């Protein structure tokens, strides 16, 4: 129907009505027809664009449940959330103390450990495993991996080091590791997303 769209400009020249009222009424019909075709064309574009949004099966995996019961203090696991790595870490008291000791004012992205964990569940540090520099996966969640000089995570791509609260301490990354939205569904289980 797009072909009709050029009609507007010529409509007036071809409608050979006699009175001026007649001409105006005829033009109105041509303009209305072209406008309607235009509205239709726009309406058709909506589903054409919407089909590229995440489909229902992708959205169904938009939240992940994690069972915490088997993670011992000092251990961390790497799981996935929305197809990206998710770090779940059970901090030891020592690590919590180290994180609390840091002077917030000296941080590049000032946040306390409390702000990065759930009230009363300070030992559970849940962050995305995506370096805020260029999106590499930092080391430190796996057994025996390099945790960098601040004992948290270390990104091997460009040497960003994160501390035990997964805050950026050294290297090019601008932000702390992102904490996704999550909630505890029981004492030992969380729902992320």
Partner 1 sequence: MVRIGAFLVGLFFSGWLLISFLVGAVAYVTEPPAVTVEHEFHRDPKHVSFSFDGPFGTFDQAQLQRGFQVFKEVCSACHSLKFVAFRDLKGIGYNDAEIKAIAKNWAIKTPDVDPKTGEMSTRAPVPADYFPKPFANNVAAAAANNNAIPPDLSLMTKARHHGSAYVYSLITGFQPQPAELLKEFPDAKTPQGLHYNPYFANLNLAMAPPLTADGQVTYGDGTKASVDQMAQDVAAFLTWTAEPKLENRRRAGLATIFFLLIATGLAYMAYQNIWADKKKAA
Partner 2 sequence: MSFPWAEQYTPKHPVMQWVDEKLPLPRLVYNAVGAGYPVPRNLNYFWNFGVLAGLALMIQIVTGIIMAMHYGANTAVAFATVEQTMRDVNAGWLMRYAHATGASFFFIVVYLHIFRGLYFGSYKAPREMVWLLGLVIFLLMMATAFMGYVLPWGQMSYWGAKVITGLFGAIPVVGEPIQTWLLGGFAPGNASLNRFFSLHFLLPFVIAAVVILHIWALHIPGSSNPTGVEVKGPQDTVPFHPYYTAKDGFGAGVFLILFAILLFYAPNYLGHPDNYIEANPLSTPAHIVPEWYFWPFYAILRAFTVDFFFVPAKLLGVLAMFASILLLFFLPWLDTSAVRSGSYRPTFRKFFWILIIDVLILGYCGGAPAAEPYVMISQVAAAYYFAHFLIILPLISRFEKPLPLPNSITEAVLAKYGKTDGEPVAVPAE
Catalytic residue annotation: 158
- State the residue for tokens 């992205």: 109
CA neighbor of 163 nearest in space, from 85, 111, 86, 105:
111
Which is nearer to partner 2, 51 or 106 (by Cβ)?
51
Site string for partner 2, 63-102 (x = CB under 8 A): ----------------------------------------
Q: Report the C-alpha gap between 118 and 122 in whole angstroms.
A: 6
Pairing of strands 76-81, 84-90: antiparallel
The yes or no reply on residue 60 touching partner 1 (CB under 8 A) is yes
Which is nearer to partner 1, 65 or 109 (by Cβ)?
65
Locate the DSSP E strands across the chain. 64-67, 76-81, 84-90, 124-128, 151-155, 160-163, 168-170, 182-186, 189-192
Binding residue for partner 2, selected from 23, 31, 37, 179, defined by CB under 8 A: 37
Choose the one of partner 2, partner 1, none that binds residue 42, judging by a C-beta under 5 to 8 angstroms depending on kind: none
Choose the one of partner 2, partner 1, none that binds residue 105, judging by a C-beta under 5 to 8 angstroms depending on kind: none
The tokens for 10 are 């010529």
Q: Which stretch binds partner 2 (CB under 8 A): 47-55, 69-77, 147-155, 162-170?
A: 47-55
CA neighbor of 132 nearest in space, from 171, 175, 162:
175
Which is nearer to partner 1, 27 or 145 (by Cβ)?
27
Closest distance to partner 2 from the beta carbon of 76 (Å):
33
Choose the one of partner 1, partner 2, none that binds residue 3, judging by a C-beta under 5 to 8 angstroms depending on kind: partner 2
Quote the DSSP letter at residue 2.
Answer: G
The yes or no reply on residue 26 touching partner 1 (CB under 8 A) is yes
How many residues are present in the chain? Answer: 193
Backbone angles phi, psi at 58, to 5 degrees: -70, -45
Cα 96 to chain centroid distance, Å, stands at: 28
The yes or no reply on residue 32 touching partner 1 (CB under 8 A) is yes
Residues of this chain that bind partner 2 (CB under 8 A): 1, 3-4, 6-7, 10-11, 14, 33, 37, 47-48, 50-53, 55-58
């Amino acid at each position: 129907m797009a072909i009709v769209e050029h009609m507007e400009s010529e409509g007036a020249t071809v409608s050979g009505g006699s009175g001026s009222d007649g001409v105006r009424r005829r033009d109105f019909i041509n303009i209305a027809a072209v406008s309607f075709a235009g509205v239709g064309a726009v309406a058709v574009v909506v589903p054409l664009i919407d089909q590229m949004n995440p489909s229902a099966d992708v959205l169904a995996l938009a939240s992940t449940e994690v069972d915490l019961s088997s993670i011992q203090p000092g251990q961390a696991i790497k799981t996935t959330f929305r197809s990206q790595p998710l770090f779940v870490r059970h901090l030891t008291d020592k690590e919590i103390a180290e994180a609390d000791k840091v002077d917030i004012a000296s941080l590049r992205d000032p946040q306390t450990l409390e702000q990065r964990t759930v009230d009363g569940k300070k030992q559970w540090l849940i962050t995305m495993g995506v370096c805020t520099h260029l999106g590499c996966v930092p080391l430190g969640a796996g057994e025996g991996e390099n945790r960098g000089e601040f004992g948290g995570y270390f990104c091997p791509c460009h040497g960003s080091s994160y501390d035990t609260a997964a805050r950026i301490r050294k290297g090019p990354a601008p932000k702390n590791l992102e904490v996704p939205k999550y909630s505890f569904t029981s004492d030992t289980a969380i729902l992320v997303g």
